[in-house]
Amino acid sequence: MDMLPIFRQQRDILRASTPDQFIDKNLPVLYEGIMHQWASYPKWNIQYLADTFGNYKISADRNINGQISYIQAPMKDYAGYIRDTADPIPYYGKSTMHLKTHMNLEYQTPDAFNCWYKAYYTAQSATRKIDLSSLYFGPRGARSTIHQDIWGTSFWNALYEGRKLWLFFPQEQEHLLYNGEFDPLTADIASYPLLGEAEPIICIQEPGELIYCPANIWHWAYVLEPGLALSENFINEDNYLHVLQYFQRMGYTNAEQKMKDIANTFLNKQ
């Protein structure tokens, strides 16, 4: 891709209709036939959020040369920012408003991505410390850093509006990535020579497409056209050992024990 010349070799993402047809446990997959069954698609978009939840406070952040800054604003004001901003690196919005409103009833998590963590706390009517589900919305140029997702979880990301560019780096390429401390748009080979050996999986996600990303995959997302996406992390039989290893490595004893309790609950049901 012309805007990412540092990566001399690039691979296309695997594609399928639904997880019932195909899911690779070690590589990202783009699914084209899931969202069209949801009441939320194509109903949800930035204007819908502004019109329906205009006074709802959202947060947004951006990272410029390692300096992270944050803002909070009503959704209707941030929607205006998305429309009008000329910031070269704009603020990227995030909210859990869908979990606290009727929006939560308008999509269905595919069975392959069911989350033990969510189901465990729901069954106990207990409050989860972290929801693992967020709406993301922003103008062109909004982007993430290169990162792995929380706790070693997997995630899925459903795009409602706009277009989004993704980079995914399979686990065997981790040693080439400088711990994610580079910008794919501006990095050069002289400063990051190992990137010349990397072969990222590249994908442009269109509205109505859902991307699955397995645990511990380094990735990056860039907004090509202003848009809205729903993203959820999940823990199940495919990745719970990664989560346990993360808690062990970090010395989070209580979280490790809770994860063992959750895993035993569901493994005993199988």
Q: HSE (CB half, 13 Å, CA atoms) of 21?
A: 11
> Helix or strand or coil: residue 149?
coil
Diameter over CA atoms, the chain? 54
List the domain range (segments joined by +) for residue 186. 11-267
* Number of domains within the chain: 1
The answer to whether 160 and 40 are in contact (CB under 8 A) is yes
The answer to whether 190 and 245 are in contact (CB under 8 A) is no
Alpha helices by DSSP H, listed for 115-252, are 116-123, 240-250
Residue 51 in domain: yes
Give the separation between CA 83 and CA 70, rounded to whole angstroms: 19
Residue 6 in domain: no
- Supply the pTM of this predicted model: 0.95
- The pair of structure tokens assigned to 160 is 């409602």
Residue 1 in domain: no
CATH number at residue 74: 2.60.120.650
Residue 194 in domain: yes
Residue 43 in domain: yes
pLDDT in tens, the chain (270 residues): 678 889 988 999 999 998 887 777 889 999 998 999 999 999 999 999 999 999 999 999 999 988 999 999 999 999 999 999 999 999 999 999 999 999 999 999 999 999 999 999 989 877 787 899 999 999 999 999 999 999 999 999 999 999 999 999 999 999 999 999 999 999 999 999 999 999 999 999 999 999 999 999 999 999 999 999 999 999 999 999 999 999 999 999 999 999 999 999 999 876
Residue 237 in domain: yes
Residue 5 in domain: no
Residue 87 in domain: yes
